[in-house]
């Protein structure tokens, strides 16, 4: 309606006003987050203009460096999962890539206090680049503004909105657990105010000597493989972020074709030799089998899932299975931020696979508005679900590290007729990993967290893991991403994985592909020549 046949109306608007209009879609599912972010940026447009002008002057300043070089320092995320933070340093600029927390570790911040971090002050950073919004990559972006950072945060539009959603929830969870939040909502607003959104496959100058290009990473909505080109050295450094190389129901697989690539900083979550996931078809069959068996017992199926990415993937699988009669129709309860995250997905259909994009805008065809989906809000509703008949519950958090999933464990873990199905990675030192490895009970306090250990909850329900739904590529996908990367990098740094995973993946890349590899430790620096 807005664009007109053949673009006639948008052209008329441009002719009459002298302005080029940008069309923003109204989400088919109303999103409070999208509305709030857009309203906030509009209200602060004068300050935004000042920020953008300042950034522009900083980018287009005269060169000051006497020598040229490119190096990367790890401030986290090495030989561990999460706490992603890297500094890309050149002769002219310093760029921070991601700044996240570590799942299962309370408040474990990246090494920002070291000389390569923020010792010289947050103002020493020229730019921050956020690959995607998961908290192990984004949780401490607002902390930078508490420390005095006043520069740009580059990300995709969906990542900007999800950053607001997830970090605000991060503060709420921190308070519920009795912890002192590391920053306030004001710092989240500052982070949003300083975002500069970049579309996929668009080259953008972000510093005096550095250009950035985002490409689809296939991991979650708006996730990006980040390609940096450094003028002077002509070095090209690629950060994979988190990737999924194969297509899924929700996203196309990660892109791995670049103008050039001297070095690749590569995620290694599933980097071990035996980290081979089931394919999508087998994973769906396993999930449907677990649901059918639980239904026949009269129990409830609980699926811990990340609010962003895995939940929407599971929603598509469940909708299709019920529509085709492969599992019985029953209520599908969505708890936590899942419904709001799903609404954000519908605001950015261009980031989804074409099949899903078409269905979202078909009248009565939107798969996310399936009649069996029910948004849960509050403990009273959880109790009513618990007292009812067979159902499916998809709940945050995905690693059972707090949030409403703790309430479902209290309700259903003792029930032998019910089941728990893991559909995503469970990091070391998380409750999810403990349950996955066979724990027979949970120590839980009155608020639903396992820190004060006041209540012992027996685990009697069935526990199943279905590996094919993870947003991370498995060993074969990671190897395939590097093998088929064009051009192949001269060097690969394997990060974001347990020690065995990074060691085995780096060894595999070296022996099978003949590429120099490193499995760095935190605080190590690598110079690229």
pLDDT score for 112 = 93
Segment 406-416 mean pLDDT: 94
The whole-angstrom distance between residue 520's C-alpha and the CA centroid of its chain comes to 23
Q: How many CB atoms lie within 10 A of CB 144?
A: 24
- State what percent of residues in the chain have pLDDT above 70: 98
pLDDT in tens, 493-521: 999 999 999 999 999 999 999 999 999 99
Tokens of 319: 């909708």
**pLDDT band for position 392 (50/70/90)?**
very high
Residues contacting 16, CB < 8 A, separation 6+:
none
Higher pLDDT, residue 445 or 236: 236
- What are the tokens at 87? 């500094």
Give the E-state strand segments of 15-168 in sequence order. 70-76, 85-90, 94-97, 127-129, 153-155
Measured CA to CA, the distance from residue 206 to residue 110 in angstroms comes to 23
User: Structure tokens of 389?
Assistant: 């008949």
* pLDDT given at position 449: 54
At 76, is the secondary structure helix, strand, or coil?
strand
Span 255-277, pLDDT tens digits? 999 999 999 999 999 999 999 98
What are the φ and ψ backbone dihedral angles of 419, each rounded to 5 degrees?
-150, 155
Please compute the mean of the pLDDT values over residues 144-150 and round it to a whole number: 95
Q: Which pair of tokens denotes residue 46? A: 């004068």
Lowest mean pLDDT among 178-187, 206-215, 357-366, 388-397: 357-366
Residue 441, beta-bridge partner list:
458
Q: Which tokens in the block code for residue 26?
A: 């109204």
Return the percentage of the chain with pLDDT > 90, whole number: 77
Q: In which band, very low, low, confident or very high, does the pLDDT at 62 lie, cut at 50, 70 and 90?
A: confident
Q: Quick check: helix, strand or coil at residue 283?
A: helix
Where does the pLDDT of residue 68 fall: very low under 50, low under 70, confident under 90, or very high at 90 and above? confident
- pLDDT at position 225 is 98
Residue 86 main-chain phi, psi, to 5 deg: -135, 145
Length of the chain: 529
Contact 275, 307 (CB under 8 A): no
Domains in the chain: ranges and CATH: 31-273+473-528 (3.60.15.10), 280-469 (3.40.50.10890)
Of the candidates 292, 268, 318, 332, the residue with the CA atom closest to the CA atom of residue 80: 268
Please report the pLDDT score of residue 513 as a whole number. 96
Q: For residues 243 and 220, is the Cβ–Cβ distance under 8 A?
A: no
Q: What is the pLDDT of residues 291-331, one digit of tens each?
A: 999 999 999 999 999 899 899 999 999 999 999 999 999 99
Helix (H) or strand (E) holding 212: strand 210-216
**Residue 446: predicted pLDDT:** 55
Of 391, 383, 395, nearest to 422 by C-alpha is 395
Task: Look at 450 and 319; give whichever has higher pLDDT.
Answer: 319
Which stretch of DSSP H or E encloses residue 384?
A: helix 379-387
HSE, CB side, 13 Å, CA atoms: give it for residue 195: 30
Structure token pair of residue 520: 């760095």
DSSP string, 223-244: -EEEEEEETTTTEEEEE--S--
The reply to whether omega before 397 is within 30° of 0 (cis) is yes
**Other beta carbons within 10 Å of 162:** 32
* Predicted TM-score of the model (pTM): 0.91
| pLDDT value at residue 405 | 93
- Is the preceding omega at residue 487 within 30 degrees of 0, hence cis? yes
pLDDT digits (tens, 9 = 90+) for 212-259: 999 999 999 999 999 999 998 889 999 999 999 999 999 999 999 999
Q: Name 225's bridge partners.
A: 215
pLDDT band of residue 403 (cuts 50, 70, 90) is confident
Q: Which helix (H) or strand (E) holds 77?
A: none
- Taking CA atoms, 225 is separated from 155, 312, 518, in Å, by 11, 21, 19
Residue tagged 């420390």 (tokens): 147
- Compute how many other C-beta atoms are within 10 angstroms of the C-beta atom of residue 435: 23
Sign of CA dihedral 125, 129, 133, 136: negative
Contact status, residue 479 vs residue 441, Cβ threshold 8 Å: no
- pLDDT category at 372 given cuts 50, 70, 90 is very high
3-state secondary structure of 505: helix
CA–CA distance, 330 with 99 (Å, rounded to integer) = 40
């Amino acid at each position: 309606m807005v664009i007109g046949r053949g673009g006639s109306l948008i052209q008329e608007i441009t002719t009459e006003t002298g302005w080029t209009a940008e069309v923003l879609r109204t989400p088919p599912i109303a999103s409070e987050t999208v509305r709030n972010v857009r309203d906030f940026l509009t209200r602060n447009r004068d300050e935004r203009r000042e920020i953008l002008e300042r950034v522009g002057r900083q980018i287009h300043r005269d060169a000051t460096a006497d020598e040229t070089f490119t190096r990367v320092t790890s401030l986290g995320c090495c030989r561990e999962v999460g706490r992603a933070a890297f500094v890309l340093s050149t002769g002219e600029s310093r760029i921070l890539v991601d700044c996240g927390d570590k799942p299962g570790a309370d408040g474990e911040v990246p090494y920002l206090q070291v000389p390569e971090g923020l010792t010289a002050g947050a103002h020493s950073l020229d730019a921050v680049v956020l690959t995607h919004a998961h908290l192990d990559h984004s949780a401490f972006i607002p902390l930078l503004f508490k420390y005095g950072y006043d520069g740009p945060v580059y990300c995709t539009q969906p990542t900007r909105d999800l950053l607001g959603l997830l970090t605000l929830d991060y503060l709420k969870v921190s308070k519920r657990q009795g912890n002192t939040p590391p920053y306030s909502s004001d710092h989240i607003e500052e982070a949003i105010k300083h975002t500069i959104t970049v579309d996929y496959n668009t080259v953008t100058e972000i510093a005096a000597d550095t250009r950035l290009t985002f490409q689809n990473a296939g991991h979650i909505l708006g996730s990006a493989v980040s390609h940096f080109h450094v003028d002077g050295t002509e070095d090209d450094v690629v950060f994979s972020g988190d990737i999924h190389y194969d297509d899924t129901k929700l996203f196309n697989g990660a892109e791995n074709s670049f103008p050039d690539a001297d070095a690749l900083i590569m995620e290694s979550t599933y980097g071990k030799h035996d980290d081979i996931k089931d394919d999508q078809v087998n994973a769906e069959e396993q999930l449907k089998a677990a649901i059918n068996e639980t239904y026949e017992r009269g129990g409830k199926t609980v699926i811990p899932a990340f609010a962003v990415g895995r939940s929407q993937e599971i929603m598509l699988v469940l909708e299709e299975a019920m529509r085709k009669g492969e599992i019985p129709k029953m209520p599908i309860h969505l708890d936590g931020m899942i419904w709001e995250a799903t609404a954000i997905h519908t605001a950015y259909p261009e980031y989804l696979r074409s099949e899903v994009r078409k269905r979202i805008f078909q009248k009565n065809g939107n798969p996310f508005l399936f009649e069996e989906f029910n948004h849960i809000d509050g403990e009273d509703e959880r109790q009513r679900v618990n007292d009812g008949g067979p159902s499916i519950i998809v709940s945050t958090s995905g690693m059972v590290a707090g949030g409403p999933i703790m309430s479902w464990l209290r309700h259903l873990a003792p029930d032998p007729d019910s089941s728990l199905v893991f559909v995503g990675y469970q990091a070391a030192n998380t409750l999810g990993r403990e349950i996955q490895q066979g724990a027979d009970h949970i120590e839980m306090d009155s608020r639903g967290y396992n820190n004060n250990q006041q209540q012992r909850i027996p685990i009697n329900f069935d526990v199943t893991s279905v590996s094919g739904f993870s947003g991370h590529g498995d060993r074969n996908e990671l190897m395939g991403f590097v093998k088929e990367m064009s051009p192949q990098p001269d060097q690969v740094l394997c990060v974001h994985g347990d020690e065995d995973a990074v060691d085995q993946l780096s060894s595999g890349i070296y022996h099978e592909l003949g590429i120099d590899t490193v499995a760095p430790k935190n605080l190590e620096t690598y110079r690229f020549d």
